[in-house]
Chains A and B, each alone.
Chain A
Amino acid sequence: DVKVTQSSRYLVKRTGEKVFLECVQDMDHENMFWYRQDPGLGLRLIYFSYDVKMKEKGDIPEGYSVSREKKERFSLILESASTNQTSMYLCASSPLRVSANTEAFFGQGTRLTVV
């Protein structure tokens, strides 16, 4: 059974803290993604990576960075957490070579609260 695992379901952090959200996939996928989900705004892409040490900005990269040192692991970093980063964060992965109907595989989400 394919799996994308996010290290935490719930996190509470203080303003100004450095926060790491971890995501691991066991499907040997090249592509990995971080999305942010907010009510009324749907899913918005923060960053994605198509290979180890490679990354590209998504639609809302400000305030975030990412790290991909190993193929199976993709980390989202909030350098200095702010209250407007309180949100649900979803990690996803997909193979590099896709057919038109290839779907993405998602983790269970991390609900981050910044106080």
Chain B
Amino acid sequence: EIVMTQSPATLSVSPGERATLSCRASQSVSSNLAWYQQKPGQALRLLIYGASTRATGIPGRFSGSGSGTDFTLTISSLQSEDFAVYYCLQYDKWPPFTFGPGTKVDSK
């Protein structure tokens, strides 16, 4: 099973600032990596797949990079609606699909 880790656990950011979230896989997952946003009471939202491809309707301030074992989600200018928990998912080798433990982005 591929183990995913994320850092930091919590990221405190002011609106307008840049947020950089990291995700690491215990072995190479090529570019088979997705990012999700979770807000209370809402369905999870796919942000990025293929490590760097934005999903339909996702604003351009969200970008993904990386391949192999190290990945980054960047929010270039954080908006108030971006405060949420973000998860990475590897889908290179499944079952099982495995998620990272999440990064909570909150207000500084």
Asked if A and B are interacting partners, one says no
Give B contacts to A, CB under 8 Å. none
